[in-house]
């Protein structure tokens, strides 16, 4: 599906649907890595005791959900679920899903390749954005993931994904780097590696967030973070192959600037639409407004798998009111993306910026150095 069709669908969801626009679904808490920056660590540790929603239960949920534009299937490690392609198929057929993001740590190359290829072939109308986590390169990745031969597995996954991107136009590859106090000094090297050694990948930089086992990772100097984002944009100036990529990239830049301003505590408040337009569903059916607020909205198992009934409950409405009343604010890019999209003033600014930007350069091969020259 091209940009025009996606654009029409985007407008329809924005203006004519009362459904959530963006669902983050942690389909499993199981993970084969052990990252110190994991914001979901408590669930990962308790994975064995957490009863995951089964495929049959997910089918009951999608049957009642209605239209959905953006879905993120996260974890844990989402590819640990062998029924991942079946889950994607349910959202595509029952909810008319338009765009899907799947983050992965890349530690299961063969499974990732096979599972993703099935999903791409089965759902040509769904544009899939595969985010290969790249918090480090070389032997340091083994230390971060605590997985033997982590970098070799990561690069094997990258090569398989590059081959899939050549075959399927509904796939975009990103190398997702979480910027922490631990890797800030190595971000330039990581970005250069992505540019040189991971063909077909666009880098995605994000700020560390959430409550971590090692909170010192969040002690990131705001000025350094700002500089790293500038370098990132210099190295990766071009648009990717997503429908509406130009507009989405301008929106992404605006969101990044907002996150940096939040880090510097200078950002104006934008109403957060979590619990309403963005919703987080966990592996055990718990529903939360976002990944950070410890204010559950309910559980889909207790609501006969009707997510909209959970969101309409007094408990959920009270939390949504609380978010607005307290001017809740944070650096989570997914929430900011939705918040911009539902803020007429900020979306107008994004559109003006998009209309007045110079034509982006075409995708290039390798940029020498840190892209600053």
Q: Within positions 252 to 281, which residues make up the interface with ligand SF4, using CB under 6 A?
A: 272, 274
Question: Residues near 152 by Cβ (< 8 Å), separated by ≥ 6?
Answer: none
Which SS3 state, helix, strand or coil, does residue 153 take?
helix
- In this chain, which of 25, 332, 337, 341 binds ligand SF4, going by CB under 6 A? 332
Classify each residue of 289-322 as buried b or exposed e, where b means 16 or more C-beta atoms within 10 Å of its C-beta. Answer: bbbbbebebbebeebebbbeebbeeeebeebbee
DSSP state of 54: P
* Binding of residue 194 to ligand SF4 (CB under 6 A): no
Q: Is 329 in the site for ligand SF4 (CB under 6 A)?
A: yes
Nearer to ligand SF4 (CB atom), residue 27 or residue 244: 27
The answer to the question of residue 76 lying near ligand SF4 (CB under 6 A) is: yes
What's the closest the beta carbon of residue 312 comes to ligand SF4, in angstroms? Answer: 18
Pairing of strands 298-299, 22-26: unpaired
Task: Count the neighbouring beta carbons within 10 Å of the beta carbon of residue 23.
Answer: 24
Residue number, 171 or 335, with CB nearest to ligand SF4:
335
Comparing CB distances to ligand SF4, the nearer of 107 and 244 is: 107
Binding span for ligand SF4 by CB under 6 A among 53-61, 192-200, 231-239, 328-336 = 328-336
Tokens of 99: 């765009």
Residue 335 is a binding residue for ligand SF4 (CB under 6 A): yes
- Binding of ligand SF4 at residue 38 (CB under 6 A)? yes
Query: Could you say which of 24, 44, 132, 137 contacts ligand SF4 (CB under 6 A)?
Result: 44
Which of the stretches 35-43, 56-64, 244-252, 364-372 binds ligand SF4 when contact is defined by CB under 6 A?
35-43
Q: What count of other Cβ atoms lies within 10 Å of the Cβ of residue 134?
A: 24
Taking the mean position of all CA atoms in its chain, how far away is CA 185?
24
Q: Is 337 in the site for ligand SF4 (CB under 6 A)?
A: no
Q: Where are the beta strands (DSSP E) in 216-319?
A: 278-281, 286-288, 298-299
Q: Give which of 89, 127, 87, 179 is closest to 7, Cα–Cα.
A: 127
- Residue 217 interacts with ligand SF4 (CB under 6 A): yes or no: no
Class of residue 246 by CB neighbours under 10 A (exposed 0-12, middle 13-18, buried 19+): middle
Size of the site for ligand SF4 (CB under 6 A): 23
For position 33 contacting ligand SF4 by CB under 6 A, the verdict is: yes
Q: Which of 1, 3, 14, 34 binds ligand SF4 (CB under 6 A)?
A: 34
Instruction: Please give the C-alpha separations between residue 149 and each of 44, 107, 108, 261, in angstroms, as whole numbers.
Output: 21, 9, 12, 38
288 binds ligand SF4 (CB under 6 A): no
Mapped to the 3 state alphabet, what secondary structure does 304-342 carry?
A: CCCHHHHHHCHHHHHHHHHHHHCCCCCCCHHHHHHHHHC
Q: Does 77 bind ligand SF4 (CB under 6 A)?
A: yes
Q: Tokens for 6, please give them.
A: 């996606």
Scanning 5-13, 38-46, 184-192, 230-238 for contacts with ligand SF4 by CB under 6 A, the matching segment is 38-46
Identify the residue whose tokens are 């398989």.
160
Nearer to ligand SF4, 10 or 44 (CB): 44
CA dist 321 to 136, 272, 276, Å? 40, 10, 10
Position 323 contacts ligand SF4 (CB under 6 A):
yes
Among 73-81, 117-125, 193-201, 240-248, the segment contacting ligand SF4 (CB under 6 A): 73-81
Could you tell me the smallest distance in angstroms from the CB atom of residue 207 to ligand SF4?
Answer: 12
Interacting residues with ligand SF4 between 80 and 139 (CB under 6 A): 105
Residues at the contact surface with ligand SF4, assessed by CB under 6 A: 31, 33-35, 38, 40, 44, 75-77, 105, 272, 274, 289-290, 292-293, 323, 328-330, 332, 335
């Amino acid at each position: 599906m091209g940009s025009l069709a996606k654009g029409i669908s985007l407008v329809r969801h924005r203006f004519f649907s009362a459904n959530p626009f963006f669902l983050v679904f942690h389909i499993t808490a199981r993970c084969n890595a052990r990252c110190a920056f994991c914001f979901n660590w408590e669930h990962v540790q308790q994975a064995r005791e957490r009863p995951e929603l089964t495929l049959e239960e997910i089918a009951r949920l999608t049957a009642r959900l209605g239209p959905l534009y953006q879905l993120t299937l996260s974890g844990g490690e989402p590819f640990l679920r062998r029924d991942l392609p079946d889950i994607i198929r349910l959202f595509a057929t029952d909810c008319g899903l338009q765009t899907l993001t799947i983050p992965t740590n890349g530690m299961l190359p063969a499974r990732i390749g096979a599972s993703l290829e099935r999903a791409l072939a089965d759902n040509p109308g769904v544009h899939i954005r595969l985010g290969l986590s790249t918090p480090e390169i070389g032997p340091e990745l083994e230390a971060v993931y605590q997985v033997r031969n982590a970098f070799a597995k990561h690069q094997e996954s990258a090569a398989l994904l590059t081959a899939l991107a050549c075959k399927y136009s509904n796939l975009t590859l990103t190398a997702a780097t979480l910027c922490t106090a631990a890797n800030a000094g190595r971000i330039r090297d990581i970005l250069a590696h992505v540019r040189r050694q991971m063909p077909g990948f666009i880098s995605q930089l994000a700020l560390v967030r959430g409550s971590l086992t090692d909170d010192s990772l969040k002690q990131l100097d705001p000025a350094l973070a700002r500089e790293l984002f500038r370098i990132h944009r210099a190295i990766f100036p071009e648009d990717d192959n997503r429908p509406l990529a130009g507009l989405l990239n301008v929106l992404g830049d605006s969101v990044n600037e907002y996150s940096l301003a939040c880090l510097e505590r200078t950002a104006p408040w934008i109403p957060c639409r979590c619990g309403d337009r963005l919703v987080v569903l966990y592996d055990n059916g718990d529903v939360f407004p976002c990944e950070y607020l410890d204010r559950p909205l309910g559980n889909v198992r207790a609501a006969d798998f009707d997510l909209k009934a959970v969101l309409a409950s007094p408990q959920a409405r009270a939390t949504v009111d609380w978010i607005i009343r307290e001017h809740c604010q944070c650096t989570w890019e997914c929430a900011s993306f939705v918040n911009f999209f539902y803020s007429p003033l900020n979306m107008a600014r994004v559109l003006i910026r998009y209309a007045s930007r110079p034509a982006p350069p075409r995708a290039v091969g390798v940029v020498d150095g840190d892209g600053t020259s």
